[in-house]
Structure 1
Amino acid sequence: MLTTTVSDYNKIYKSIAKNLDISNEQFEKAISHYEAVADWLTRESSPLRLNNPDIYVQGSFSLGTVIKPLSGEDEFDIDLVCKLDLHKTNTTQERVKNKVGDRLKANSDYNRMLLEESEICWTLEYQEDPKFFIDILPSINDETQWLQELAVPQRLAQTAICITDKDSFDYKIITRNWRKSNPKGYSSWFKEQMTAQFSRRLQLLAEHRSVSIDKIKEYEVKTPLQRVVQILKRHRDIMFGSDEHKPISIIITTLAAKAYANEDNIVDAIKNILLKMPSFIESVNGVTWVRNPINPSENFADQWENHPVKETNFRDWISKAKIDLVNIVGTKTVNDARILLGENLGNKIVNESYRNAGFDIISESSPALIRHKSIVSLAVHKETPKWTMRLENTIFVSARYKDGNSWYTVTPETILPKGKSVVFIARTNVKKPFDVFWQVVNTGEEAKNNGQLRGSIFKAQTAGAGGLRHSEDTAYTGTHWVECYVIKNNVCVARSNEIFVQIK
């Protein structure tokens, strides 16, 4: 039966997004740690009390768009701002940075947990499962007049701050030249984009629990905008893995919020957001801009000019996300959609989400995948790994190919013509350093007749993404596959699934 209703897909996407949330236990633990840090920095015995410290959360925790790591052994963090009541005309960035750092070091536990000082913040490492970090950003108040002159509303401009930057030329001297930021203003702006749906859901949840609205915690309410951002970030992670040039979250979040029209369901929201996001990308004197909504003089895409691959990757990602997340609605059976969504959002998350949404999973593997796997044992020319195998970690490989201006995911059902370039991207929870090896196995008479029955294991040839990216061109009719191995100290600690490529 075809899934032709928005309702079915909305259930699926809602369940997927919910499964992308970190657990309530992790969330509460993060809040507990954050509150403990805030208490230490602000308590009466703290020297910072003279400067009226204001501690608050920024980033995805503040926006309600945090997603769980790709694997349980990965890490996540929470970003805090520590704003001191000081003015840049009577202090230096170094003094402000050290005021906060000295207070953290005065706590024996925090002193032990402090990592090497970064250019703008202090980082505490919590040895938990998953590993957890708190970044504390020292800052002071900024003036607001310059923002109001740029037509930023007073309610958003008034929370602007100046932050410390150890790499700044002016770090140790009194100057008006500080880095500027406004995470509280950005959070307010983001939430204003979804006010109608947030208020509606807040009221419904309160009524469902038979409690007053003030008894509902903000993070318990999720709007379609927040859910779409979560799904888009996971789709990005699957598509690009650890590629340093992948689309950054602040650009995804900003364009999604600008495009959101308070749709009341995820399917309509994700469709309209992906359709409209490019319209909010500007060109200013030949330079591509994604304008910061609460500081119009800041370009979130400022790296695109010097690194054009970043813009190319972003536009390719938009194109592929439309195909993977929008075009499947109403055109695939429930099970076929599951297979495609699993390739693009993660099989474990998608399978669990289907079950939670009440949809039966007909088969964990497609008929095509079952057929492909049946030929693996027949490839006697395939090299056998020589390493000791201790597969204590995970690695997952996905593949995509470009047709025209659009990128498509390679699935077991995909049949490719010759002359296409296929990009394989691996994601692993193995901690660096490690070595990456790939194995490409060809089958079929055409490859055999041309002496191309490849099957050897070779070290990654490219430095991009730490060797976790590999490209091949389609050349010979048949069913071929690729595997990836992660090696530490001459031991294979992770081995991927086979990614099959059918060539016609």
Structure 2
Amino acid sequence: MAVDLSANFEQFLQNISLGDPQVPRMNSAARTVSDFLLASYDIAQGNVFLQGSYANGTAIEPVRGGEYDVDLVAVCVGGNTTADDALSELEKRFRSDGRFRARVRRKQPCVRLEYAEDNVGGFHVDVVPVRYANHDAPLEAPRRGEGWHETAPAEYTRWCTSQGAYFLRTVKMLKRWRAEQQSVRTAVKSIVLQVLVAQCMPSVADDADRITQTFRNLHAHLAGMTRPPVVLNPVLPTENLAGRWTQESFASFVRELDEAVQWADQAMAATDVIEATDIWRELLGDDFPARTPTSLGFHVGDYSHAQTPSDRGWAERSDARYAVEITASTQRGKRGQTRRPYSSGGPVVFAGHKLRFKAEISAPNHVDVWWQVANTGAHARNASGLRGEIFRARDSRRGTNSDQTENWENTAYTGSHLVRALLVRNNEVVATSAWFVVNIYARGRPFRP
């Protein structure tokens, strides 16, 4: 029986949802731009409105280096205006106002206003000038160099919100999965993902079960296809939302779905809360909450077994001209395609992962880089795995690494373990890094000092 992680998923949803100060900032920018458009084009209040993820209730905080945005539609274009002229006219009007002049960026389907970054990422407002349509759709939107195309943004927003709370939760979580997995970030557009989720999502209350079944259903639906499917706009059946989905991006998306199914199935089969949490973090990123090492009682134990430089016949003569610090990352994904930074004393890493350590050195002359691992705690001690020796860097396959500044380790024993790098020149240790603390948990092995 799967462990109960309902509280974790609830906290995860809160962690990835936009809040203060982003939402007030988005609302303020939307009001300012809307008021400008209403006055500049002399159009009625209802002719400027929100579209996109914020309006649909599926907006999430961006991951590192990402952006969040507000999308606005302005019904402000006459029937005989070309698409390029409509976009150029909107751009001209923004540039004529000192509040927007420096923010304007030309995009193919819109005019973008870029704002200063904040603590979660970049922020921009995208504005699309549209006109009334004469066909099946209520509106037409421009695309620079391609003319007009039918669109129904308000109707699509109503469709999204009508799908219910489970749909909105699932879309947000899968959008975060997409953002966390590097090869998925550009593999599928949000609107395509949303419609596919609506087609494949079961009506199940438990988040873990619903996400798992959605992954399974998506993979089953797409895996047998040799080309991107037709994904019709649910409010505009003449529009194929996947019309620009390339073969390469589609194939990448299916591969990542296959891996996601495997991870989710493992998480659902796990009987250990920490193991299940770790697997969901593989899929959904570090915003999925995990128990802290402190709450599990972790602390660095005795490491007097660690070899000293003198044991190797080296003298310790620190030289201020030399310095070394180490950074670390966990290798994530079954194909090792994603690395994520890991800080000293960071969250618990489950046994069976790989860690990459990198020595950042400053040295006026050549030095040799050596490494040292000192495991602590009862699990490593009882398994004769305390280590402590000073050694040359190893690669990810445990062979000698030609790059002395890079060392790979496998996680194995429950406890708080230590890693450091030493700079050696002429049998003298001229600099050592601070001990780097790695917290590891192995299934069925609670921490014992």
Task: Give the alignment's TM-score, normalised by structure 2.
Answer: 0.65
Residue 253 of structure 1 is aligned with which of 172, 177, 194?
Answer: 194
**2:173 is the alignment partner of 1:183:** no
TM-aligned CA deviation for residue 19 of structure 1: 0.7
Aligned partners of 1:443 and 1:479 also within 8 Å: no
**Could you tell me how far apart the structure 2 residues matched to 1:60 and 1:163 are?**
18
What's 1:28 paired with?
24
**Could you tell me how far apart the structure 2 residues matched to 1:291 and 1:277 are?**
16
Aligned pair count reads 360
Deviations 1:428-463 (A, max 9, x none): xxxxxxxxxxxx95269x965xxx4433569xxxxx
Residue 399 of structure 1 is aligned with which of 332, 336, 345?
Answer: 332
**Could you tell me how far apart the structure 1 residues matched to 2:271 and 2:299 are?**
16
Aligned partners of 1:142 and 1:162 also within 8 Å: yes
**Could you tell me how far apart the structure 1 residues matched to 2:11 and 2:124 are?**
27
Residue 344 of structure 1 is aligned with which of 263, 283, 297?
Answer: 283
Gaps of 5+ in 2: 313-320, 341-348, 357-391, 412-435, 441-449
What's 1:235 paired with?
177
Q: How does 1:7-406 map to 2 (within 5 A)?
A: 8-43=4-39, 46=40, 48-49=41-42, 54-71=47-64, 74-84=66-76, 86-87=78-79, 90-115=80-105, 117-130=106-119, 131-145=122-136, 157-158=137-138, 161-168=139-146, 178-194=148-164, 223-240=165-182, 245-278=186-219, 281=222, 288-304=229-245, 306-308=246-248, 310-329=249-268, 331-347=270-286, 349-351=287-289, 361-362=295-296, 398-401=331-334
SS of residue matched to 1:108: coil
**Could you tell me how far apart the structure 1 residues matched to 2:332 and 2:240 are?**
32
Aligned partners of 2:140 and 2:148 also within 8 Å: yes
Aligned partners of 2:131 and 2:141 also within 8 Å: yes
C-alpha spacing 1:138/1:456, structure 2 compared with 1 (3 Å) = farther
SS of residue matched to 1:350: coil
**Could you tell me how far apart the structure 1 residues matched to 2:57 and 2:226 are?**
35
C-alpha spacing 1:121/1:390, structure 2 compared with 1 (3 Å) = farther
Q: 1:224 is matched by which residue type in structure 2?
A: Y
TM-aligned CA deviation for residue 245 of structure 1: 4.5
TM-aligned CA deviation for residue 11 of structure 1: 1.9
**Could you tell me how far apart the structure 1 residues matched to 2:46 and 2:322 are?**
55
Task: Give the alignment's TM-score, normalised by structure 1.
Answer: 0.59
SS of residue matched to 2:6: helix
C-alpha spacing 1:397/1:414, structure 2 compared with 1 (3 Å) = closer
What's 2:403 paired with?
455
**Could you tell me how far apart the structure 1 residues matched to 2:280 and 2:214 are?**
18
TM-aligned CA deviation for residue 39 of structure 1: 0.7
TM-aligned CA deviation for residue 136 of structure 1: 0.8
Q: How does 1:402-413 map to 2 (within 5 A)?
A: 413=351
Q: 2:58 is matched by which residue type in structure 1?
A: T
Deviations 1:50-76 (A, max 9, x none): 5877112222111211111224x6432
Aligned partners of 2:393 and 2:405 also within 8 Å: no
Q: 2:114 is matched by which residue type in structure 1?
A: E
**Could you tell me how far apart the structure 2 residues matched to 1:294 and 1:185 are?**
6
**Could you tell me how far apart the structure 2 residues matched to 1:121 and 1:395 are?**
41
C-alpha spacing 1:278/1:56, structure 2 compared with 1 (3 Å) = farther
SS of residue matched to 2:402: coil
**Could you tell me how far apart the structure 1 residues matched to 2:232 and 2:212 are?**
22
Kindly indicate which of the two structures has a greater share of residues assigned to helix. Answer: 1
Aligned partners of 2:278 and 2:350 also within 8 Å: no
Kindly indicate which of the two structures has a greater share of residues assigned to strand. Answer: 2
Aligned partners of 2:228 and 2:250 also within 8 Å: no
Aligned partners of 2:264 and 2:279 also within 8 Å: no
Aligned partners of 1:58 and 1:79 also within 8 Å: yes
Q: 1:86 is matched by which residue type in structure 2?
A: G
Q: 2:216 is matched by which residue type in structure 1?
A: L
**Could you tell me how far apart the structure 2 residues matched to 1:84 and 1:248 are?**
27
Aligned partners of 2:84 and 2:145 also within 8 Å: no
TM-aligned CA deviation for residue 409 of structure 1: 10
Aligned partners of 1:81 and 1:136 also within 8 Å: yes
**Could you tell me how far apart the structure 1 residues matched to 2:162 and 2:203 are?**
10
TM-aligned CA deviation for residue 112 of structure 1: 2.3
Aligned partners of 2:18 and 2:61 also within 8 Å: yes
**Could you tell me how far apart the structure 1 residues matched to 2:209 and 2:110 are?**
39
What's 2:427 paired with?
none
C-alpha spacing 1:98/1:292, structure 2 compared with 1 (3 Å) = same
Q: How does 1:406-425 map to 2 (within 5 A)?
A: 413-414=351-352
CA RMSD, aligned part only?
A: 4.7
**Could you tell me how far apart the structure 2 residues matched to 1:325 and 1:262 are?**
18
C-alpha spacing 1:232/1:295, structure 2 compared with 1 (3 Å) = same
Aligned partners of 2:209 and 2:268 also within 8 Å: no
